[in-house]
Structure 1
Amino acid sequence: MPHARVSSSLLAALFALTAGAAGAAPAGQAAPDLKRHQPQIDRILAEISPKRIEAYVAKLVSFGTRHTMSETESDTRGIGAARRWIKAEMERCGAGTPLQVAFDSHVAPVSARISRPTEIVNVVATLPGSQVASKDRLYVVSGHYDSRVSDVMNYTADAPGANDDASGTAAVMELACVMAKYKFDATLVFMAVAAEEQGLLGARHWAEQARKNSLNVAGMFTNDIIGSSRADNGKVDNKQVRLFSQSIPATKEMSETVRQLVATGGDSDSLSRQLARHTKEVGERYVKGFKVSVIHRADRYLRGGDHMPFLEQGYAALRFTEPAEDFAHQHQDLRTENGKVYGDLAEFNDYDYIARVARVNAAALASLALAPAAPQNVKLRTDRLTNDSTLVWQANAEPDLAGYRVVWRDTTASDWQGAKWVGNVQEATIDLSKDNVFFGVQAVDRDGNVSVASYPLPQR
């Protein structure tokens, strides 16, 4: 098995010298440039248009209500007209590209928020990957196109849903239309899902089918309430977005993998946390002056979104949401009281802000879909007591693989602090104690695209 050894005498000095940079590689295995911007990603971000996003939101609002149980026959009002328009628009902008647009539907039975059997229809646009070794690896991004007012069962009242969640739906449509013109190694799936307000029904159906069919969903983003940079106290914050990220799942019984995470202190190294670290690093690199604030929760306190059914199926999934919600413009009947306007109206959205959030999504999705898969079967050897650490992993299958990078951080740190390029090997020894740091291993291709890090489980 190929092996590399990397040493340093002082932990602090090593952090200072190597944080965020590639280290020296074995002879003949030079590190790709990991700091440079990928030109394709820069072009994608430059094409994302606030004006188009605003037009998408305006059109979605024009359907009056998009409640899950609203009108389906009309061409101008209700959820049926909305989903047909979303599908037609993505077909139009994807014409001449490999983008494949389809409905994904099922009938939901009567439940707490469904008063009659109701067809739930997702609009799914798939951009197939172009690399044989990667095309079965999927990255999913969603927004929910249904809307509601104060009474979640009221399916006749006007429910514009401009922020919740026409903002996320418009961002996903813009991503699909822009990114469809480009090639990626892995497959991208852009979804406008229904019945989020009725219990995450559209997303749950797709996630359950994905697991049933053994789809390799390597990461999922939902964009839900990304429309406003103004909080309920009037403060404007258009320089950051919240990214909610689960640690270990809150289940009655732990899987063996989760048990080993907990046993080794890796509860902040779950699949979703690793995806969040990658998204933050890439998003902030490409969208200058914009912060991705990773929140160490699955979602807002005791609340949820369309990423949660993916988490339930064991997939890495994250939620993007604006910095501070204004609840006067969310889940409200349209009205004016004491001079204050209530309701989720398009005039309260900040379209430049939505575009920035869309660019973070685009940068992360593109980097993930261009990069190799995260290394598999990563282990940290524990067969002997030493003050250095030896990691082993399974070789990647991608033909453009350049090699691997070992990353680490202090046990109290959230983000990677040190990194070393170790070349195209499947074993590396780092002169740092496994007791003092958390490690990860990333795969890197010849263009410098870097995978999400994989946490090493103990090898006895």
Structure 2
Amino acid sequence: MKYFLFLMLAPSVIFSQVSSKDSEIKKYVSEVSSDSLKSYINKLVGFNTRHTLSAIDDQNKGIGAARNWVLGKFTDYAKNSEGRMDVYLQQQDIQPDGKRVDQITNLGNPIAYLKGTDSNDKRIFLISGHLDSRVTDVMNRTSFAPGANDDGSGVSAVIEAARILSRSKFPASVIFVAFSGEEQSLLGSKLLAERAKNENMQIEAVLNNDMIGNAKAGETNEINNNTLRVFSEGLPYLDLDKKAMGIRNLGLENDGESRQLARYIKETAEKYVKKLEVKLIYRNDRFLRGGDHSSFVNYGFPSVRLTEYYENYDHQHQDVRMENGKQYGDLPEFIDYNYLKKNVAANIAVLASLAKSTAKPENVEIEVKELTNSTTLHWKKPKSGLPIGYYVLIRETDSPAWQKKIFTKDLSIKVPLSKDNYIFAVQAVNQTGNLSIPVIPVIAR
């Protein structure tokens, strides 16, 4: 066990181990095309409506035509994967619920599943957007509902990620999915999340993209094309009653798995994407609202929502119309494609970094049997992958992000900082510098 005296070191020394960028991920980021994103969104808008209750048997209009087109794009990209990408439509007939479904509806989620190269690595990372669109009346399934930003922008991120990453050979697996039924109460995401839970799928991160292409605020016309919000829960929705006492005792109200994922996104995205700030929002979603990641949160999967900094309600959930000289409706001309490109690049950088990393360290523990002003941590190797070492992460309890990192090749460490004053975590690092998601220690027994 090593005792690290690092407090007098310059921050550049502490962080020097993680300053370099993975050349493969840099290449993926550089391949994101605003022209491709524009073509995807224009095609989606061309289906007239993608309302969940719209036609599924029309070849040119409605949700059926839209989901078949997404499946076709996935199938084209699967040709690059050397047989490792499976493409299919997860579907189920939904019965009327007296709320937002008034007829028997065939619900379908277009999915591309890129299998990892390591048969021992069971981790899955998921990127999503929702395919369906709507106008003012959530039950209106016939009017023109372009859904360019809500959520053509998110679906374009999913398709572009599938295009670029289809040639990758990550040890872990990646799922690309365009959910149906989001506007009808998250139906498609509930369908996949329930399946993931029943099949014990090891989903370690859900990146749900919902409206990532608008840069202008509706009320003030302020523009922010450099900030991407990431919403994450702090306290775990699943089994909170069983976990609450431990969380309170250890002061981990700000350290749920989804919050750790959000911090990871911030560090990784800002590392690879120029002129992008990731803003951590300490809520599961916008005020009293919800998106598809919530379906996964409810089953205990680490999940976040990525969304633009400003929402423009003139172009969200609106009938397309001109009123008093003002254009309403979610039309493609209101997308900032350079901003969208940065946000898509952020997703791809994070997905690639996660899927290339080793698994998380196992059995991370903190010693508490003695009263000391130092802190001792120990852990075990990940279940899959070959780490070259580990980072011990440190931050003050009121800091939103990790402040210090110490590299070690050992499986234990003693640092001259009191566990009363700091939060600690451990993450694995591999030869290409890719990092696992940090693990908060439990009490050593």
In the alignment, does 2:13 pair up with 1:7?
Answer: no
> Residue type matched to 2:374 in 1?
D
Give 1:451's aligned residue: 436
Give 1:130's aligned residue: 117
State percent identity of aligned pairs: 38
Whole-angstrom CA distance in 2 between matches of 1:82 and 1:399: 39
> Residue type matched to 1:7 in 2?
L
Give 2:395's aligned residue: 409
Q: CA deviation at 1:132?
A: 2.9
Give 2:137's aligned residue: 151
In the alignment, does 2:312 pair up with 1:326?
Answer: yes
CA gap 1:399/1:192 in 2 versus in 1, 3 angstroms? closer
Contact 2:359 2:385 (8 Å CA) reproduced: no
Give 2:247's aligned residue: 261
Give 2:159's aligned residue: 173
Whole-angstrom CA distance in 2 between matches of 1:126 and 1:343: 33
In the alignment, does 2:76 pair up with 1:78?
Answer: no
- Of 28, 39, 47 in structure 2, the residue corresponding to residue 55 of structure 1 is 39
In the alignment, does 2:192 pair up with 1:214?
Answer: no
Provide structure 1 residue ranges, at least 5 long, that are not aligned to the other structure: 23-33
CA gap 1:453/1:18 in 2 versus in 1, 3 angstroms? farther
Contact 2:126 2:207 (8 Å CA) reproduced: yes
Give per-residue Cα distances to partners, 1:327-379, cap 9 Å, x unaligned: 01000111111011111111111111111100000111100000111222211
CA gap 1:304/1:399 in 2 versus in 1, 3 angstroms? closer
* Count of residue correspondences: 441
Give 1:30's aligned residue: none
TM-score (norm. length: structure 2): 0.96
Higher relative contact order (CA 8 A, sep 6+): 1
Give 1:27's aligned residue: none
* 3-state secondary structure, aligned to 2:270: helix
- Of 189, 200, 225 in structure 2, the residue corresponding to residue 203 of structure 1 is 189
TM-align CA RMSD? 1.5
Whole-angstrom CA distance in 1 between matches of 2:262 and 2:10: 21
Instruction: State which drifts further: 104-113 or 59-68.
Output: 104-113
> Residue type matched to 1:36 in 2?
S
Whole-angstrom CA distance in 1 between matches of 2:103 and 2:299: 27
* 3-state secondary structure, aligned to 1:362: helix
In the alignment, does 2:361 pair up with 1:375?
Answer: yes
> Residue type matched to 2:90 in 1?
D
Instruction: State which drifts further: 42-51 or 94-103.
Output: 94-103
* 3-state secondary structure, aligned to 1:255: helix
Give per-residue Cα distances to partners, 1:43-95, cap 9 Å, x unaligned: 10111111011000000000000000001111101000000011011211332
Q: CA deviation at 1:252?
A: 8.1
CA gap 1:322/1:253 in 2 versus in 1, 3 angstroms? closer
In the alignment, does 2:71 pair up with 1:87?
Answer: yes
Contact 2:210 2:306 (8 Å CA) reproduced: yes
> Residue type matched to 1:236 in 2?
I
Give 1:313's aligned residue: 299
